[in-house]
């Protein structure tokens, strides 16, 4: 970071010349600020992201004509998943039987529950938002003909889900360039040259 480099140069300049006590105070403040930032801000953010990305639950999928309970990490594309109430959805999918009411506030920020309807015709039917359910959203109500629950067809798992893409955007955000930031290196170079000139003049005169 250019700012830390400039602060370091200023602090060591004070240490090198007569006011060494001020330089030491600057160094302590600079190191303390960096330590606080690393431990409190960055670490807390990493824990929040890890908690948001973590999804471990048990679900029922249709395998060989029978409903089998598996871990959410074992759900694969094409699985028929029985949607249980009060559980997070393990994958992105299309509702094919029954109706589901979900809370999508984790993805969209919308607090109102949203109802999902089954796809009317599986052969070439257009899939809309009313038919899609997303991983990580909480099922508030599930009604259907399979043990009274709705069924969804898994279309995406893991990092390919909408939740996975959201986590990836948080971890690797696109950089935004500002003209002000592009000109900062020039300003720092001028300030550095000015500081070196003052240092040389001070050393020569004393």
pLDDT tens per residue across span 180-205: 667 777 877 887 788 788 877 877 87
Compute the distance between CA of residue 60 and CA of residue 41 in angstroms, rounded to an integer: 39
So what's the pLDDT on residue 5?
Answer: 60
Torsions phi, psi for 10 (to 5 deg): -65, -40
So what's the pLDDT on residue 199?
Answer: 77
The answer for residues whose C-beta is within 8 angstroms of residue 142's C-beta and 6 or more apart is 83, 84, 85, 98, 99, 100, 101, 149, 150
**First and final CA of the chain: distance in angstroms?**
33
So what's the pLDDT on residue 89?
Answer: 92
Torsions phi, psi for 182 (to 5 deg): -65, -30
What is the model's pTM? 0.61
So what's the pLDDT on residue 133?
Answer: 92
**Domains of the chain, CATH where assigned:** 2-53+186-205 (no CATH), 58-159 (2.70.150.10)
Using one digit for the tens of pLDDT, what is the confidence trace for 87-136? Answer: 889 999 999 999 999 998 888 877 889 999 998 766 656 788 899 999 98
Compute the distance between CA of residue 205 and CA of residue 144 in angstroms, rounded to an integer: 89
Q: How many Cα neighbours within 13 Å face the side chain of 176?
A: 1
Using one digit for the tens of pLDDT, what is the confidence trace for 59-86? Answer: 999 998 899 999 988 999 999 999 999 8
Compute the distance between CA of residue 87 and CA of residue 142 in angstroms, rounded to an integer: 10
- Strands (DSSP E) found in the chain: 58-63, 66-71, 80-82, 92-97, 99-103, 114-116, 132-133, 138-143, 151-156
Q: Which candidate, 81, 84, 55, places its Cα nearest to that of 154?
A: 81
| Calculated CA dihedral for residues 124, 130, 135, 136, nearest 10 degrees | 180
Compute the distance between CA of residue 119 and CA of residue 27 in angstroms, rounded to an integer: 64
Dihedral sign computed on CA atoms, order 144, 149, 154, 158: positive
Distance set, CA 116 to CA 9, 104, 127, 137 (Å): 60, 11, 12, 12
């Amino acid at each position: 970071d250019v700012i830390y480099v400039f602060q370091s140069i200023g602090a060591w300049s004070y240490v090198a010349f007569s006011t060494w006590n001020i330089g030491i105070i600057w160094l302590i403040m600079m190191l303390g600020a960096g330590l606080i930032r690393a431990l409190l801000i960055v670490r807390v953010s990493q824990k929040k992201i890890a908690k948001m990305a973590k999804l471990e639950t048990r679900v029922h999928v249709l395998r060989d004509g029978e409903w089998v309970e598996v871990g959410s990490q074992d759900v694969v594309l094409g699985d028929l998943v029985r949607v249980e109430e009060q559980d997070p959805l393990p994958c992105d999918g299309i509702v094919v039987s029954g109706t589901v009411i979900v809370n999508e506030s984790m993805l969209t920020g919308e607090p109102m529950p949203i109802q999902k309807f089954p796809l009317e015709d599986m052969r070439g039917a257009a899939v809309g938002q009313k038919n899609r359910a997303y991983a990580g959203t909480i099922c508030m109500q599930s009604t259907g003909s399979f043990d009274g629950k709705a069924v969804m067809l898994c279309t995406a798992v893991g990092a390919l889900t909408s939740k996975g893409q959201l986590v990836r955007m948080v971890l690797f955000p696109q950089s935004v360039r500002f003209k002000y930031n592009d000109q900062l290196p020039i300003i720092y170079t001028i300030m550095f040259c000015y500081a070196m000139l003052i240092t040389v003049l001070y050393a020569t005169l004393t």
